[in-house]
Structure 1
């Protein structure tokens, strides 16, 4: 556990260069080239984290201002994904689930039941969170561990199934995304896109950023979309003109800088991927392998970022109008973009279809969060996570981004609760 905690605490920017350097050496890359590839991956992750940090830090105050301005008074607060990660990594099931997940992934690879080598260890917290909530309900390590590992296997299956389409859409060869939150919403994206295709008029709406750029020139470019959306969010937050302009520039900066940081990471990834492909094809000529990575690589797409920004006021509106909802969207408002990157290819990168999918996803998340809030709060207490400062002690918790509030996580939690 000390070894695992040390690796996790390093963060992706340190962990990934080490992993990719070792992988490169295993696949026959020379030391110098392997070092460069690993460092490019690390630098890319650091750049992505810096830009995402800029986005979250910029949108955080705007989201808080919107919550205050709309006068929301709900009894389940969203403390953000960092609390979810703390619950996941702080639960007693960690050693069983982490080593169990690695073993299951290895066995699936050996028996040719998966193509994904999931090295996205930090994001194990998504299915660990599902297990953490189950443990809070059942007080049973075995049941909680099995629930978390089922969630893990489902994510691996979806990663395999979605990899070809995602690779083509994002021009990322040889990777997949066993993300136990984002992956769970792919079926919803497929279903939503199918329904829209059947509705006359709606099926003609094409809000693809590339098409918008062709039609409207500079008005359709990511920097312009970012400026407009940033200013819109500032207005909704009630900012003054100076604050609106600052937010608009920061959001535009993210729209331009994030793809550039992803390109740096991909440059290092390509070296390892090509070496792995050549080596594995010699030993397994009839097999294909994917490297499982974080969906942070996908959110730099203009369609994803722009739609994610629009989902912030939409989430607040849904929280107000949905009957029976008790969840107050708060800290995770700025992270809603992580719910939709894997659905985009199935919605043809059409922002209208992605947005409609996002509305369905947020609706489900709010109701699931309302339902599991008592258990989620118990799980937080088990992991020694306190309510955010200034929040009433009678308030419960449930985050918007995390495995426990996905439909799959909820189903696993409800089934496990029967065995209590």
Structure 2
């Protein structure tokens, strides 16, 4: 009965599920029913708009990626299924859907005791810890261990959301919002120290090129519409399209860079009153706690710097995948949606094109190696979910360090390792949200 209810809830999909949760949250934090419903509907419209525009980008770029693969006769052993298959995979088992009640209970408890500032409403993206659970189940055949392995992953999700919220909120102008999308958050762990290294490299530290500086220096040539057109045409040329195909891809890419920010603004129009009401509610009822609403990284992908870097990274990632020694994943299916894995890294590099491309390239190397290592477990997960897979399957953004860490700990250390990892995550949450302030006061 419970499983049937959870499967029905998941079947609603993110564009229904997230706005409904936001409406309920709005009512809980004392928004009027009219304002709560309008806020939820506005977010729903924004989500539909974002998904539609990302769909345009994906459908436009997918043939170009396939063409590049064929033109250069590229082949590797592991098929890239694309991250779009991961959500249905994760929620197609009873194990996967258990993460929803587990995550809600853990999140509410940690908010109540002040060990997290993030209230996650992005239920759909809980497919990410669910996928780890199904992979653990595939390699260990231990259902309970698989269920428990999802817990440290979710704890790390809250930890990363809390840790990077100030930087992300400032760069993307998202007050009261945290990003809980692990696919996007994972790269920040590499990007921030890399940015420090770049700051101390003579020459590189002086280069500061982003869409704003290009616009100031070159006028209309720095317009996101024109930047999108040039990048799209460049991808079309690499794909060896005919003239019409090149121009069409350029126009579609320009349309995405122009329209996506407008849809993101609708997202924020709906989220803002709920975020403000949530903050007032928690200040009154949770001893002044500062709570941010956890949302999908879709809120950040409309940034022109993010889109420009992500599209440029498509041919670069394909090249890296082919020449990287030891890599077996041919990056194809995941390339059109690579923006979700790289978007927050661009914020860590403050939108600097040169640093972002170098840093994202280094991160892509780590993802491809981990995606190769994770392939047997992920193939087993696809098989559990009823997918017909020949040979090994993976995808580029499956190679996230939280995925590999939780899988490896569960696979090689069992219950003890999962318990220790959970305690470590809780200790870090306690430190950054409670103890760090005490330590800072003592230090002063």
TM normalised by structure 1 equals 0.95
Residues in 2 aligned to 1:245 and 1:32: alpha-carbon distance in whole angstroms: 46
Residues in 1 aligned to 2:231 and 2:57: alpha-carbon distance in whole angstroms: 12
Does 2:296 match 1:331?
Answer: no
Residues in 2 aligned to 1:139 and 1:150: alpha-carbon distance in whole angstroms: 19
Matches within 5 A, 1:142-157: 142-157=144-159
Does 2:409 match 1:407?
Answer: no
Partner secondary structure for residue 186 of structure 2? helix
Q: Is the 8 A contact 1:138 1:419 kept in 2?
A: no
Q: Is the 8 A contact 1:83 1:385 kept in 2?
A: no
Residues in 2 aligned to 1:285 and 1:143: alpha-carbon distance in whole angstroms: 36
Partner secondary structure for residue 401 of structure 1? helix
- TM-superposed deviation, 1:17: 2.4
Residues in 1 aligned to 2:199 and 2:94: alpha-carbon distance in whole angstroms: 46
- TM-superposed deviation, 1:419: 4.0
Does 2:274 match 1:268?
Answer: no
Residues in 2 aligned to 1:291 and 1:166: alpha-carbon distance in whole angstroms: 13
Deviations 1:170-225 (A, max 9, x none): 11110101212211111110121111112111111112211111111111111011
Match of 1:238 in 2: 240
Distance change >3 Å, CA 163–CA 14, structure 1 → 2:
same
Would you identify which runs of 4 or more consecutive aligned residues in structure 1 move more than 3 Å?
none
Match of 1:116 in 2: 118
Alignment match of 1:306 (pick from 293, 305, 308): 308
Match of 1:171 in 2: 173
Deviations 1:312-352 (A, max 9, x none): 10111101111111101111110111111222222111122
Q: Is the 8 A contact 2:77 2:329 kept in 1?
A: yes
- TM-superposed deviation, 1:2: 2.2
Residues in 1 aligned to 2:112 and 2:25: alpha-carbon distance in whole angstroms: 18
Residues in 2 aligned to 1:11 and 1:143: alpha-carbon distance in whole angstroms: 27
Match of 2:419 in 1: none
Q: Is the 8 A contact 2:96 2:133 kept in 1?
A: no
Match of 1:418 in 2: 412
- TM-superposed deviation, 1:408: 2.0
Q: Is the 8 A contact 1:335 1:401 kept in 2?
A: no
Residues in 2 aligned to 1:6 and 1:238: alpha-carbon distance in whole angstroms: 45
Q: 142-151 or 187-196, which moves further after superposition?
A: 142-151
Q: Is the 8 A contact 1:78 1:328 kept in 2?
A: yes
Alignment match of 2:392 (pick from 393, 396, 406): 396
Partner secondary structure for residue 74 of structure 2? coil
- TM-superposed deviation, 1:75: 0.5
- TM-superposed deviation, 1:95: 4.1
Query: Any gaps of 5 or more consecutive residues in structure 1?
Result: 388-392
Residues in 2 aligned to 1:29 and 1:109: alpha-carbon distance in whole angstroms: 20
Q: Give aligned pairs, total.
A: 412
TM normalised by structure 2 equals 0.90
Residues in 2 aligned to 1:91 and 1:194: alpha-carbon distance in whole angstroms: 43
CA RMSD of aligned residues (A): 1.4
- TM-superposed deviation, 1:270: 0.9
- TM-superposed deviation, 1:285: 4.6
Distance change >3 Å, CA 375–CA 285, structure 1 → 2:
closer
Alignment match of 2:23 (pick from 10, 16, 21): 21
Match of 1:65 in 2: 67
Residues in 1 aligned to 2:86 and 2:124: alpha-carbon distance in whole angstroms: 12
